[in-house]
Every structure is written in C-alpha cells, then in structure tokens.
Amino acid sequence: MTVSLLILAPSCCDKSLKDIWDHVPPNWSGADPCGDGWSGISCINNRVVSITLASINLSGQLSSDIAKLAELQTCRFSILLSKFLFLHGASCPVFAKDLSYNEGMTGPLPPAIGNLAKLTSLFLANNMLTGPLPNLTGMNSLNYVDLSNNSFDATDIPPWFSSLQSLTSLIMENTQIQGQLPVTLFSLSQLQTVALKNNRINGTLTIGSSHSNQLQLIDLQNNSIEGFTLQADYSVQIILVDNPICNGGSTQSFCSIPQQSNSSYSTPAENCMPLSCTLNKISSPSCKCAYPYTGTLFFRAPSFSNYKNPSIFASLEQALMLTFRSHSVPVDSVSLSNPTKNLDDYLSVTLQIFPSGQDYFNHTGISEVGFMLSNQTFKPPPEFGPFFFIGNSYPYFSGFYAFRQKKRAETAAKKSDPFASWDPNTNSGGVPQLKGAKCFSFEELKRSTNNFSETNEIGSGGYGKVYRGILSNGQLVAIKRAQQGSMQGGLEFKTEIELLTRVHHKNVVSLVGFCFEHGEQMLVYEYIANGTLKDSLSADFGLSKPLGESERGHVTTQVKGTMGYLDPEYYMTQQLTEKSDVYSFGILLLELLTSRSPIEKGKYIVREVKQAMDVTKDMYNLQAILDPIVASGMSSRSIEKFVDLSLRCVQESGVNRPTMSEVVKEIESSMEMAGLNPNAESASTSATYEEESKGLNHPYSNESMFAYSGGYLPPKLEPK
C-alpha cells in the first residue's frame, strides 16, 4: 500500500535527510540535489521546492531537518504495505503483509512539523509513528490531514480540529483520540469529509445548523457516541455503526451500512485489438504492451448507486487522463476494473496507469503519477465524492526488474529441485558438512523396514510414523516417515536436514541420512536400543528457528507438536519464543517426576501437580503422584528444588520463565546436592551452554550460512 506525506514549507539541499532514509532513488548521489538532478526533486533558483517520492518503498524516520527546507512547497514520501483490509466492527484495520515491503516511517513526529506554515496536505497514515499527536495549530493552509493507523499516545480531541480554516478532509482512524467532537469542527467552511472511526469519541454528536455546505461524509464507526442531535435535514452521509447510540437494534439510517454492490466493469480497448504480451507486460487500452503502475482508488461517499453504468466510470477515466495531461505526466492511458462496494460503504476501483513513450515508468514518472493521485491534485467527477489512493509497489524500474526476474527464476529452480546443489561427489558448493549423513533411495529404506511393515513400527506422532530398519551394512536405524498432511516443501525439508546435521551432542540422537524420492520425506536416525523416546519419557519437538522481524525470504512451516507440550502463549500470540522451549522442557521435567504423560485421561500434568502440592509439607505433599523410583532415590530437598524448577518453567507468562542456561544451572545444583557430578554425566554444562550459545558455531547462529536461522537478538521464533 502506498501512503504519502505532503508537506509545504522549508530550505535548501540538506544531505542529512537522505542519509537517514533507506531505499532512496539510485541517482541520489553527490551533495547537490538540484545541480545533480536527483529523481523526485524539483528546484527553483537552486532551492528545493518539491520532494515527491512515491511507491519506491522509502523508509526511515522523519527528522526535524525537514523544517530546514525553507522554500519547500511539496514533500511527499511513500511507504508500501501489500494489502489493506477494511473490517466492519473491528477496532482497527487488519494488514496482510508481504514481509518484503513492510517498512515505513517510525518513531515520534518532530515538533518542528508544526512550523510548516505553508503545508497544504499531511498524509502520514499507516506508518509506525509513536509519541504525542502532532500539534497542527496555526497551519492554516492545511486542507487534507490523514494520520490514521499509527500508534500515537491517547489524547483528547485537539483544539486544532476547529481552527484549520482550509481543511477539507480530516481522517484520523484508529489514533486513540477521545472526548466529544466540538460542533465548531463541522462549521469549517470547506470541510467535506470527517472520518474518525475506531477511536474513543464519546458524548453527543452535534453537527449544528451552520455546518459546511460542502460536507459529504461523517464516519464515526466504532466509537462511544451515545446521542445525536438532529437540527436540520441533513444531506450528509453519517455512519455511527458500533456506537452505543446504535445498540438495541436501532433502525436509524446512520446505524446501518448498505449492502455490498459490485460491478464487472472493465475499461474497453480503444478501437484496437488487445495484444498478447510477453515478459509479464499487459496490453493497455490503446493496445500497447507495457508495465503499468497499479493501485486502488477508494471513494468514501459516492452519490450514485448504479455501479453497472459504464458511462460513470468512463467519465472517471476521462478526468484522470485530463489531469495527467494537463500536468505533463507521462501517461499513455488508464484502465479501470473491478468496481466494488465494501462493508464500509467505500467504492474501490482498481486502477492501471500505462507509461507513455516506453514500456515502464522511471522513478520520476512514478512519483509524479502517485503525487497527482495522493495529494488530491486529481479531482474526480462530483458524483464520486472524496477519495484516497493506495498504490502497489512498482518493481519494473530498468535493471531492477531484470535482477528480480533472475532471482525469481533461481528461487523457482530451487523449489523444483531443492537438492540440485548437493553433489554427493564433491565437498563444495551448496553441499553442507553432513557428518556422514547419506541420501538414501526409497527402495533402500523400503527394504530395510520390510516394506514399512507394522511389526517394524516403533512410534507415531503428529509428523508421521517411526520404523525400525536394518541397512544393507547391518546398521540398525530409526526411520521417521512423514505422513500426508505433514509434508513440508522441498526447501523446508532441506533446511531441516541441514540444521539437524549441525547439532551434535552425546544425548541427542544423530541423523544418519534422509530420503526425498517418490513424494516421500524421511529422516533416518541412529537407533537407540533401550527403547523409544516414549519409553524413557519424551516427545519429538522438532526444531524452532529464531527469526528476526526484518528477515526476508525465510522458510517456515505450521506448528506441529505433541499435545500438552505447546506453550499456551502461542494460542494468543501465534508466536513461539525461546521461552516456549523452556515451557516444553518444564513439561518433560514434570513427566520425569511423575512418570505420567502430559495429558492422561483428560488430566493435564501441570494442573495436577499444582493442585496436589502443599509447600508447607515434606516433598510438597506430592508423594501420591511422584514416580516411586524418584521418591525413594532423591532427598526431599532435591525433589522440592526439582518441582520448583519445573513449575517455574511452565509459568503461563513467558517472561516469568527462566532461561535455558538458568535451567541447566539449577539441574547441576540439584545433581550436586544428590552427590552426583554434573560434569561427568553430561557432555555440556551450563558454562559450555552459555559459551556455545554466543559462538559462531551455534547451530542457530545468525552468522551461519542460513540467513533464515536468525540470531537471538531480538528473536521472533517461528515453529519448525
């Protein structure tokens, strides 16, 4: 989604702004944006008067240096998100993000923004801005304000709501403003649109008899308004859905939203035969193949209801082309399609804009197009009413598009044959150090398990079944065979193999090999002769991969795991963290203490231990549920410490759980209390654990060859 910022004010060519932004145009080199011809920069008398940067994924913070541009008349920045979904009745819009394009302006707005006296339009919606709401008092040139969907501090209705005499559109959805709207707001003579839904506005809505005669829409959905004073026959569209005034089945018109109404309209070709284009180009209405700039026009209050009338949309096309041509914007033609009325009563129309004279736009062309649409220079036919524009990313700039297509082809090749780079006869290239892991054929594993017979089945779980097998060299192995529904993609399976081959510990079963034939995914482990993991207690948790918020192109799969082990926080946050592993380990400790499964006959082990324990009594009064071997083989104090540690690990809130290194220290302490030497019993102690977790050879180190296996700071773990 493209979001724009329009600023009118300030100075000369200050390089510091460029230095704090990412994804600036490639020709922004040198120290003089005027003399060096920077894309998106316009100058008069060697003074910057305009910055227009649209749909190039600009990101960073808006610093107070912007106020130094004393002659600036227009400044527009854009941020891109892939989709924007309007949810009726929700507390805020929901965003479906493509993680490649979700950067934007962050941090608080500088107070100096209030000094931009020439500013006409301020569009900072859908960023990640924080801190106090900006004070716009005295900015009397402002006609368009949209600060929606940021994380500003909660604040009362600001006084400047009623003082901006040039204001036409006030849009501040989901900005935590609270209190009663002043009637003087609606008396602003040029006011057309007030959209303040998903806030904390309360009291009585009073529009007054002297409201602006241009006022078309007041959208206050999902607030706390309890009354509405009717003083005249309003032609204004008012929406108060999800306010107390509309509770109890009110039949008032302002308490309902019209049903969806769609149209199949699409711009016809201009007396020519549409072409069959190659290289992802699209045939324009003038029958030329090109890469169009695509986005969506949202009309907040259209006055017509017949969306199947083609003449209405033809007039919109004509208005668009007239605007582009009158401002010498390099546009050949425009195409409209998919007119749709959504639940918010907004009319959305897909817009494709085709370049003139070449088959793609350059940076300046895209910025000019976006500027015309986002700063309200374009005026649609009156029946469409107020609008806003959301542009998609434009990846077709010369050079970049060829690179992008090459990367896509490489990715597709990897997905179709993820093991192509694993040449078993070489020790270089994409081949990981497999430590003896072998690529088995399906027939080899089929023979080793007697055609996967039930007699060789030794376990099963959410992933699939585990079979005992004997390889041709006589080695006994355990073969984990994924069932349908648990299959990963080829890249994910390759990822798991690469990670497993790098984890080595005396208490961890080693990977012998794998099979990726005939649609099968099998992992071959060394066989543990003393029984299955279940017999000794445990479950197969798989691997969790720490993933930084900004990582790109990562590999993830859905959560799979044994019932009773999964962190309860996951069900609320849909994220697994390092503390999720601690929770699972805590369940395992309780199993060791009680010799019970996590969930047994409908009883959850955590709840059973907590209900039975009494810290004032010996062994916390848990004798009845402790494993007799544990109860007789450990001192009361050791058992109590073990119980304390286990319950700390299974705290409901992850922040209250210990780290894994703290867990290891506690276990070592308990072993020493029992007269055991932890260094003799384990290949790694708490000291080596902490040291290895910091080293470059840690299996999940961000310094590894696997970019998707992020470091531990700050982690957002995704389940594997």
Q: Is 571 in the same domain as 656? A: yes
Report the alpha-carbon distance of residue 240 to residue 258 in Å, rounded: 13
% of the chain exceeding 90 in pLDDT: 16
Query: What CATH number does residue 211 fall under?
Result: 3.80.10.10
**Residue 391 and residue 367 in contact, taking contact as beta carbons nearer than 8 Å:** no
Q: What is the pLDDT confidence band of residue 719, given thresholds at 50, 70 and 90?
A: very low
Domain extent, residue 236, equals: 162-257
Report the alpha-carbon distance of residue 189 to residue 186 in Å, rounded: 8
Q: Which of 153, 181, 200 is the last residue of a domain?
A: 153
Q: Are strands 599-600 and 603-604 parallel, antiparallel or unpaired?
A: antiparallel
Paired strand residues for 388: 298
287: amino acid identity, one letter: C
Q: Is 585 in the same domain as 601? A: yes
Report the alpha-carbon distance of residue 158 to residue 96 in Å, rounded: 31
Residue given tokens 């795991």 in the structure block: 561
pLDDT surpassing 90 at residue 213? no
Indicate the number of domains in the chain: 5
Binding residue ranges = 480
Report the alpha-carbon distance of residue 192 to residue 18 in Å, rounded: 36
Report the alpha-carbon distance of residue 410 to residue 396 in Å, rounded: 18
Q: Is 705 in the same domain as 557? A: yes
**Residue 40 and residue 364 in contact, taking contact as beta carbons nearer than 8 Å:** yes
% of the chain exceeding 70 in pLDDT: 64
Q: Does 617 or 510 have the greater pLDDT score?
A: 617
pLDDT mean over 483-501: 68
Report the alpha-carbon distance of residue 352 to residue 338 in Å, rounded: 11
Q: Which of 487, 506, 536 is the last residue of a domain?
A: 536
Q: What is the DSSP string of 263-328?
A: ---BPPPSSSPPP---TT-EE-TTS-EE--EEEEEEES--S---TT-HHHHHHHHHHHHHHHHHTT
Q: Is 514 in the same domain as 401? A: no
In a domain, 693, yes or no: yes
Q: Is 397 in the same domain as 507? A: no
pLDDT surpassing 70 at residue 324? yes
Q: What is the pLDDT of residues 648-690, one digit of tens each?
A: 999 988 888 999 888 888 888 777 766 676 665 454 444 444 4
Residue 558 pLDDT: 44
In a domain, 368, yes or no: no
Q: Is 4 in the same domain as 130? A: yes
Query: What CATH number does residue 499 fall under?
Result: 3.30.200.20
Report the alpha-carbon distance of residue 469 to residue 286 in Å, rounded: 67
Q: Is 520 in the same domain as 504? A: yes
Residue 428 pLDDT: 38
Residue 487 pLDDT: 60
Q: Is 530 in the same domain as 571? A: no
Q: Is 90 in the same domain as 194? A: no
When the pLDDT of each residue in the chain is averaged and rounded to a whole number, the result is: 72
Q: What is the pLDDT confidence band of residue 407, given thresholds at 50, 70 and 90?
A: low
Question: Going by C-beta distance under 8 Å and a sequence separation of 6 or more, which residues neighbour residue 244?
Answer: 224, 225, 226
Residue 361 pLDDT: 87
In a domain, 129, yes or no: yes
Q: Is 243 in the same domain as 266? A: no
In a domain, 421, yes or no: yes
Residue 64 pLDDT: 60
Q: Which of 112, 134, 153 is the last residue of a domain?
A: 153
In a domain, 68, yes or no: yes
Q: Is 438 in the same domain as 290? A: no
pLDDT mean over 629-653: 87
In a domain, 366, yes or no: no
Q: Is 18 in the same domain as 134? A: yes
pLDDT surpassing 90 at residue 60? no
Highest mean pLDDT among 10-14, 154-158, 407-411, 554-558: 154-158
In a domain, 367, yes or no: no
Question: Going by C-beta distance under 8 Å and a sequence separation of 6 or more, which residues neighbour residue 344?
Answer: 86, 88, 219, 221, 257
Burial class for 62, CB neighbours closer than 10 Å (0-12, 13-18, 19+)? buried
pLDDT surpassing 90 at residue 224? yes
Query: What CATH number does residue 624 fall under?
Result: 1.10.510.10
In a domain, 438, yes or no: yes
Binding residue ranges for ATP = 480
